[in-house]
Amino acid sequence: MRSSRSSETRKFLNSLVVFQYVPRVLRIFLLCKERHLIPRKAGIWIKSVFNFFLYILASHVLGALWYYFSILRETACWQYAYHSQNQYEHSYDCDEHSSYDCDEHYTLRNVTLLNGLCPIDPPNPTLFDFGVFTDAFLSGMLGSTDFPQKILICFWWGLRNLSSLGQNLQPSTNAWENLFAVSISIIGLLLFLYLIGNLQFGTTRAEEIRWRTKTKDLEVDLWLSRKGIPKVLKELIMQTVERRIEENKDVQVENILSLLPVRHSNFIKRYLRLATLKKVPMLQRMDERLLREICKYLKPVTYAEEHPIMEEGRPLDKMFFIRQGMVRTYRIHKGDKGIKIGNSKVLEQGDLYGEELLDWVSNFTPPCVLPLPNSTRSVKSVNKVDVFVLKAEHLETVVTKCWWHFTKDKFLYQYYNEDQLDQLKSLAASAIQRQITRIQKKYAKGPQMVTGHGSKKRKLGA
């Protein structure tokens, strides 16, 4: 308070202290908007703590403003004391014209006038009314150097008046003081409504999520049953469904695989493909490693309604397994009266077309290349249909890698059942092992050469 210029500078700096809360409040508001991203099960306590933190933070801010305005109110009283002495033409300069005597350190020595016109203990509203800041002067907080004590007193004052919506405040006639008291009441009311609103919204939202989850649970059960997927995978799928519902996103059970993590989605897709292959009679007795190899080449394809898939008489370059939808197969008869369509047949989910490729590939002996068989029927989709497609060239690749599986099925299964084949496998393995043991014992005695008639020659190097 050394001059009017320094007083204006002080007011400007004080305003900066208040305005620095604006970006902080904005940041807190943005955090409030992102609370819905917290998972429901893991976020119940987090959201509760967040609501409580807002209440604590508001109490701290109001307490800090109360301390700040108390200092401003005290300086206002000093100005009132100065003006009451009819010395308005002078400022608080420490010069020879000022009634406030100052020493070399500009310290006020004449404080009797201030104590008389700004009474604190006891306060005198008739001389100067400190209003809601009276407690700050009575506690001696403003002149204390104990920082933790100041923090606690300010926080308690803000918490107490925020909880009571400012009902215990007795402001003076100062306009800014009354606005401060009104803001306390409004902030307390808004926080209360915010808490009640969150509770109501949380309850309604939880009930909506529970109802939607229950509905999707039934849909997932039907989908698992229809696809033939074991229900042990249901928990994994429901976790994804619940997370999507919590994010307020729609969930289409038929497209649930696209929502699952890649590892889990691939596992279910592989299971579906294996289950599809195991329905083919010729592949039912195949080793599962062979089926897994075929699964690598199965590609999901979607055909639109009334889309031609195969033409009669054309090379059968692919076989497909119907996952969903229907297709119609038919033959075309050409006669004197034109083209007629007859012998129509509808294939549905789980059916296969192009099984002739398996018979064709069982006769495939690399490096010989056999011509592809011709399709005996035309195929067209009835509605939107999803299929697994296996191309002939990919089937050739599988046979090239695992040709013995197809040879075994072609010849042995005509004469032996599966139990008999297992016994033959054991006998063959025992015979091979005995032969290996005999050879090892023979060469353990030393390298020998055997003639074509079985007579032995001398050892090498003898």
Alpha carbons 314 and 403: distance in angstroms, whole number: 27
pLDDT at 410 over 70: no
pTM of the model: 0.47
Which of 263-267, 274-278, 427-431 has the weakest average pLDDT?
A: 427-431
Mean pLDDT along residues 67-95: 67
Q: Where are the domains of the chain?
A: 4-203, 292-401
Q: What is the pLDDT of residue 35?
A: 59
* pLDDT tens by residue, 336-393: 565 667 778 888 887 888 888 887 877 655 555 678 888 888 899 988 888 889 888 8
| Calpha distance 222→204 (Å, rounded) | 28
Neighbours of 136 (CB within 10 A): 23
Task: List, for residues 181-224, the tens digit of each pLDDT value.
Answer: 888 889 888 888 888 887 787 778 778 878 887 887 888 778 77
> Mean of the pLDDT values across residues 54-67?
84
Phi, psi of 89 (to 5 degrees): -75, -15
Determine the pLDDT at residue 214. 81
Q: What is the mean pLDDT of the chain?
A: 73
Instruction: With both helix axes pointing from N to C terminus, report the angle between 40-83 and 147-163 in degrees, rounded to the nearest 10.
Output: 110
Hey, what are 255's tokens?
């497209």
- Asked whether residue 414 carries a pLDDT value surpassing 70, the answer given is no
Instruction: Give the CATH fold of the 292-401 domain.
Output: Jelly Rolls (2.60.120)
The CB-side HSE value for 249 (13 A sphere, CA atoms) comes to 13
> Of 190, 247, 181, which is closest to residue 213 (Cα–Cα)?
247
Q: Name the pairing type of β-strands 308-310 and 338-347.
A: unpaired
CB 114 within 8 A of CB 81: yes
Instruction: Give the pLDDT band of residue 176 (cuts 50, 70, 90).
Output: confident
DSSP-assigned states of every residue in 200-238: HHHHHHHHHHHHHHHHHHHHHHHHHHHHT--GGGHHHHH
Question: Which of 381, 390, 368, 383 has its CA nearest to residue 316?
Answer: 390
High-pLDDT (> 90) share of the chain, %: 0
**Among positive and negative, which fits the CA dihedral 243, 246, 252, 258?**
negative
Contacts of 361 (CB under 8 A, 6+ apart): 392, 395, 396, 399, 406
Average pLDDT estimate for 277-301: 80
